[in-house]
Amino acid sequence: PSSEPNHDSLSSLTLDTQSLQNQIDELATFSDSPPPSVTRVLYTDKDVAARRYIKNLMGLAGLSVREDTIGNIFGRWDGYEPELAAVGTGSHIDAIPYSGKYDGVVGVLGAIEAINVLKKAGFKPKRSLEVIMFTSEEPTRFGISCLGSRLIAGSDTLEKALKNTYDSQNVSFSDAAKSAGYVRDNDDLSGVLLKYGTYSGFVELHIEQGPILEAEGIPIGIVTAIAAPASIKVDFEGEGGHAGAALMPNRNDAGLAAAELALALERHVLESGSIDTVGTVGILDLHPRAVNSIPSKAHVEIDTRDINETRRNIVVEKIHQSAVEIAKKRKVRLSGFEIVNQDPPALADKKVIEAMEASSRELNLDYKLMVSRAYHDSLFMARVSPMGMIFIPCYKGYSHKPEEYAAPKDLANGVKVLALTLAKLSVS
């Protein structure tokens, strides 16, 4: 083989599929729920151990590792023109309760393996290549999704809000962060921000989390846009009381208001007329949560998404109207209505898409252009860098549950397309 380190010689990439699979399996053992499920929540002991595991692998791959104050981890391979903007790649390793071992993980371990592959092929990057493990893509602990990438993209309101953010056990964000070794002595979170131009391109490898690629037998998905999520917290309060003694006409049941709102959400989503509009009530907490007590408080958390921002915003508006009307009708107090986030969709960059397409073609892999219905750190990286995403098929489209699975062959294909895409972006 030619020793010429150019990227024309990269079509025979050799990948250690077995060691990648072993790493995926090993990372899955850092979990707070029994296998095959994975639960790995921000700043817990398991999260900290998993972070150590990632930093170690980055080191073994010869990357220089740095962490920012919120715990985003960066592993850099210096290019031969290190003053140029780097090319970024990465994803997350936090896992929602009772989920699987591939969501996010594939884009972090796969990125490190892509670097190993390029090194073995003798490739020398012109722009530096940087693997990023983002802090808390999932909103599990503090209700904020894509925490690390949001702060990288810059959010004053989030920085302020974090000073007053608590988890469900009343642990403050800063105490949780400190216990994991981050946000020390009131570090300024604005240091997390990266300015536009830090990266010339950013690519994230991820399982599709939908059924299309598997059903159509296509090994690679190239993402053109990421759907826009909104999330809302609603609180109702009533008088509560004795479940036997308080007669029905005299009640104002906060739990029923919440139940009615959940059904109203479903109606509003279906009224959009588009299959692309979705809505979920994933959290519904009742207080005092006793079988013989009328709920005096109900807390509802709503997730609604669409690839069309206007349509999604109409749903958000209708949810608000419904919450007000239901409270009035049921004589409960609407004590909280907070739009936690209402993010705009992101488009992938043409140049990055072209690099992913060319890479797939060179590897003789069929690909499909598609929309991401799940959100990703790439949604926020798109604000500071041209962005693209590579999807691989996953079993029945399962995700956010223990049955999540991607075949070794599909993992290998995804890593190869990623490696070649990084190589192309690194010299362009």
Q: Which residues in this chain contact Mn ion in the complex, by CB under 5 A? A: 103-104, 374
Cα separation, 256 vs 237, in Å, equals: 11
Strand segments (E) across 17-108:
38-40, 64-67, 73-77, 86-92, 95-99
Using CB under 6 A as the binding rule, the residues of this chain from 70 to 109 that contact ligand GLV are none
Give 61 or 394: the residue with its C-beta nearer to Mn ion: 394
The first and second tokens of residue 271, run together, are 């009224």
Residues near ligand GLV (CB under 6 A), total: 4
Q: How far is the CB of 374 from ligand GLV (least distance, A)?
A: 3
Q: How far is the CB of 337 from Mn ion (least distance, A)?
A: 25
Is there binding between residue 375 and ligand GLV (CB under 6 A)? Answer: yes
Is there binding between residue 370 and ligand GLV (CB under 6 A)? Answer: no
Is there binding between residue 173 and ligand GLV (CB under 6 A)? Answer: no
Cα separation, 44 vs 31, in Å, equals: 10
Give 108 or 294: the residue with its C-beta nearer to Mn ion: 108
- CB contact set of 80 (below 8 Å; sequence gap of 6+): 124, 125, 126
Give 103 or 113: the residue with its C-beta nearer to Mn ion: 103
Q: How far is the CB of 56 from ligand GLV (least distance, A)?
A: 25
Distances (CA, A) of 344 to 164, 293, 321, 379: 25, 41, 22, 9
Is there binding between residue 138 and ligand GLV (CB under 6 A)? Answer: yes
Q: Which one of 374, 382, 389, 423 is in contact with ligand GLV (CB under 6 A)?
A: 374
Cα separation, 75 vs 266, in Å, equals: 43
Cα separation, 413 vs 360, in Å, equals: 9
Taking residue 128's Cβ as centre, other Cβ atoms within 10 Å add up to 22
- CB contact set of 312 (below 8 Å; sequence gap of 6+): 228, 230, 277, 304, 305, 306
Q: How far is the CB of 113 from Mn ion (least distance, A)?
A: 18
Question: What is the DSSP-derived secondary structure letter of residue 308?
Answer: S
Which of Mn ion, ligand GLV, none does residue 47 bind (CB under 5 to 8 Å by kind)?
none
The closest residue (CB) to ligand GLV is 374
Q: How far is the CB of 104 from ligand GLV (least distance, A)?
A: 8
Q: How far apart are the first and last CA of the chain?
A: 24
Which of Mn ion, ligand GLV, none does residue 71 bind (CB under 5 to 8 Å by kind)?
none
Q: How far is the CB of 96 from ligand GLV (least distance, A)?
A: 7
Contacts to ligand GLV by CB under 6 A = 137-138, 374-375
